[in-house]
Every structure is written in C-alpha cells, then in structure tokens.
Structure 1
Amino acid sequence: MIEPEPVTAEPVTADPPRLPGRPLMTQSWLDATFLHWAVDPAKVAPLLPAGVLPDVIDGVTYVGLIAFRMHRIGWWPLPGLPYLGTFPETNVRLYSVDAAGRRGVVFRSLEASRLAPVAMARTAFRLPYRWARMSAYRVGDEYWYGSRRREPGLPPSRSLIGVRVGPVVKSPTALDHFLTARWRLHFTLGGRTVHMPNAHPRWPLHKAELLACDEDLVAAAGLPGVASGPPDSVLFSPGVPVRFGLPRPVSRD
C-alpha cells in the first residue's frame, strides 16, 4: 500500500471553519444517504487533481456514493430557486488533502436531473456534472433514489439505492466525521487546482440499513470493482443548509 507523502492536515472536525468573505452560493442538501467503500490510496491517487493527495484514515481512503435532494440553489444574496435549483443528485466522490493540509472532496461524477444547473456547473466550474433522469422518494422509514444518464453519446450509467433509516448516531466516530464533515472541494479550474470552501451546521447522522445498491456509477467514474461488495459504511442525514465561498488556487494560500 502506498501512503501519501506526509502533510500536516487540519483536524477532522464536525464544526466548520469560518467561511472567508461573503458566500458565493447557498443551497440545502436534504435526505442524504452516504455509502462508502474503503480502498487503497494508490487506487485513487491517479484520479486526483495536481497537488492533491488521497486523504487517509487508518491506512485507507474511501470512495463515496452519495444520493440526496438538492434544494434551492441560489446566488448570494438572491433567494434559492424553487424549481431550477431543486432536484435529486447522486455523486461519486473521493477524499483529498492538499499541501497546506486542507481536507476536501474530489468529485468524479455528479448526476443531476435539471439540465440548466448541469450546464452552468460545467461551464462556470468545470465540474463533471451529468444530466440524468432521476427520482428520490420516501416510503415510511425507507428512502429510495434512482438515476439513469440521458445525455446522447454517453453510456446509460445508472443507480438504484434504497435504505431504511435507523436511530440517531448519538456519538459519531472519527470515521463518521472523516466521511461527512468536509469543508471544501478540490478541482481543476483554468488549468490550476483550486479549493472551494463550504460551511454548514453539523450533520445530524442516523444509522441506516442498505436495502438495495444496483449501480455502475462508481465503475464509470474510473473505479471498477470498488463497489462490487457491500459498502463499509452506510449513513443517512435529514440534511443541512450550506454556503459556498469563492474558489481559490491552492498554491496561493
């Protein structure tokens, strides 16, 4: 197993750091299901932006498949949009740390059911959003999420995820925080690696039982075989409101 080069990483904490400056965007993430698989850091290292390494806990890193409802994306200080800014989303993400020790996430793919936000995110931030036919609904204590890509020229990658929500996690573990309390994105913009900070309240986490996970999004994101077995962690949250700051080059901080 190849360990990342040593960096002095910021502490893993459930409390967000102060968002620098005014927010750029606001939104809420609702009815979020977190599925995670442990992997060798060497497997994901080639998939990360330049200057970013896999973030590691207990010698491994994780691949996440996260399904939720995006609610009312807005540009500060305007209110969030009720239709164009509200839609199901499912993303495949990795866990990253830069040379300054800032922990974050790297998105390998993001499925969304609204074409306009997909096009805007691709154009403005070069994030790998994909237009998909999606659903997200609740039946009692069960939450179900479906997705199938609908863009011409792309394989029809799809996912079906179902969970039964259990009791509140009263004392989240270090791993629970590592997988959910992430305060920035790392991505490439204009040929440079940047970090984009976010802030939100502590995730209210619940244990969850996996009912179904039939998907090929993880493999399509460049990680074949990772999700062939059951996930190592299954969590649920009713959600949080989120604010995003401006992206900044990692090399300037």
Structure 2
Amino acid sequence: MPSTTPPHAVRLVTSRQRWAAVTFLHWACPPGEVQRLLPAGLEVDVVDGSAWVAVTPLLMRDVRASVLPPVPGWSDFAEINVRTYVRHPASGTDGLWFFALLCPRAAMVAALRTVGLPYRRYPAGAERHDNAVVYRGHHPRHGDLDLTVRPAERIDAPSAWLTAVTGRWNAYVVRGGRLWRVPVAHPPWPLHRASLAGDATGTGGLLTAAGLPAPSTVPVVTWSPGVDSRVGVPRPLSRRAAAP
C-alpha cells in the first residue's frame, strides 16, 4: 500500500537529485484507457474507483551520479512527467509508470533513454514570480505547457487519496524486452494546496500525445517545494515484457 515513507532503503545509489517546485495535476481516467498502454506484468492502480493520470512539471536540481558533484550549468533544468500509478502483482510492489519524461537537456535525454526511461527532448522552463510558479514548454508532437500555479496553505494531514498518488517508491521501465523496477527514496512530500491562474486546457495535449484521452474536467492541483531524492539500482522483474 502507498505510504508517506519508503518501504525500502536505497543503499546502492545510482543518482542523487532534488525535485523542486513540483506541481501535481491529476485527472481521473477510465482504467481500461490506461491499462491498454501498459506493458505485460503491470496493472493500473485504481484509486477511488478511477485510474489517475498526472502531468507533473518540476525543476530538477543538482542532478548527479551518486559519487560525483553536480555540474554547473548542466545539473539543473526543467522537466515534465506524464505518468500514472501501477502495481506489479508478481512482486507485490507498486509505483509509477511514465508515459513521457520531457526535458530540454539533449545529453540527459540520450543517457537516460539507455536505461529504458521514455525521455524526449522538449524545450521547457520554470520561473518563480512573486507567489506563483510559471511553467512553459512547447513541442509540435508532444504538446504544450503554459501554466501559472499559485501555492497556498500547507496540507498537514494528506488525505488517503493524496497519499495514494504521491506515496510511490518505485518506477518501472522496459529495457531489453524485460520489465525492471527502479527503487527511489526521499523524505515525505511537503504538500500544499494550489490553484491555477487560468486553466489547464492546453495541458491535455501532453496526455493525448502519450495516447491517453483528453481530459474533460479540471485537474486536482497540489504543489510541493520539493524533496531530495535517491535513485537506486534497477532490478529485473521478468525475463521478457511485451511492449504496450
């Protein structure tokens, strides 16, 4: 079951990174629409009767290999995650499946695609303006992002739903025809309520570009100043995994 703290220790660290100024935009989605896009071995997680898909823009800070210092001018960049929540019944684990990871750093995209992560080159940026965060990005195939998010009061006791969608400690990837689990660990998310200045209609293009249906409702919006994370060594879960 998802929790606010990781169920495992990540002792062998492949990467350290800070996830900063994180906005979570969540939409309910019919489970079948998500399941058809998942590889064999993974099942979409149903929370409050729905599958949930998310567009999550953030700032990546101090990204580095575990034993190396950050590289100035290279280790900081904006990123946009398009994701859902899944279970791997055979291992009893749950976590994230990324439909797309959008990043402006060509070298980072090339490096992380080799481990099975669906990184795509995507010009994007994020800036703080007074009490708001502005995220922008544009790509003719992967969709546009133009959001102004205003963080509000701290959520001291996250609901069961919010814990279910933020308390995930694994990412799954397909590499070499096999399904792998990548463990992660970080402190509990400091979460805030948030509102959008304008709407997130255009953001739906990021979902449709990933093969998901366009959203018909406004998203549930939450925000976090961020956490320091540790990414562990990928672990194989199957001999072969069929492509979604």
Q: How does the TM-score come out when normalised to structure 2?
A: 0.92
Q: Match for residue 34 of structure 1?
A: 24
Alpha-carbon RMSD across the aligned residues, in angstroms, is: 1.5
1:245 aligned residue: 232
Residues 85 and 117 in structure 1, CA contact (< 8 A), matched pair in contact too: no
The correspondence of residues 56-71 of structure 1 with structure 2, limited to 5 A, is: 56-71=46-61
Residue-by-residue CA offset, 1:213-248 (whole Å, 9 max, x unaligned) = 2221111010132x24211x2100000000011111
Q: For residues 98-145 of structure 1, what are the alpha-carbon distances to aligned partners after superposition, in whole Å with 9 as ceiling and x for unaligned?
A: 02221110110111111110111112x122111122120111111110
Unaligned stretches of 5+ residues in structure 1: 1-10
Report the counterpart of residue 116 of structure 1 in structure 2. Answer: 107
Deviation digits for residues 54-103 of structure 1, max 9, x if unmatched?
01122211000000000111111112333222100011101110022211
Deviation per residue, 1:166-195 (Å, 9 max, x gap): 000011011111111210101101110111
CA contact (8 A) 2:20 2:224 kept: yes
The residue number in structure 1 matching 2:169 is: 183
Q: What is the identity, as a one-letter code, of the residue corresponding to 2:33?
A: K
**1:115-194 alignment to 2 at 5 Å?**
115-123=106-114, 125-149=115-139, 155=141, 157-194=143-180
Give yes or no for contact 1:27–1:80 (8 Å, CA) kept in 2. Answer: no
2:212 to 216, 223, 238: 223
Distance 1:19 1:83, change over 3 A: farther
Match of residue 3 from structure 1: none
- The unaligned stretches of length 5 or more in structure 2 are 240-244
Which runs of structure 1 show a deviation greater than 6 angstroms over 4 or more consecutive aligned residues? none
What secondary structure does 1:24 align onto? strand
Would you say the 8 A contact 1:147–1:158 is kept in 2?
yes
- Cα distance, 1:46–1:90 mapped onto 2, change above 3 Å: same
Task: Kindly state the Cα deviation for residue 156 of structure 1 after the two structures are TM-superposed.
Answer: 5.7
1:43 Cα deviation after fit? 1.1
Provide the rounded CA distance (Å) in 1 between the counterparts of 2:65 and 2:224.
Answer: 24
> Aligned residue for 2:189?
203
Q: Residues 156 and 221 from structure 1, CA distance in 2 versus in 1: closer, same or farther, beyond 3 angstroms? A: closer
Count of matched residue positions in the alignment of Structure 1 and Structure 2: 235
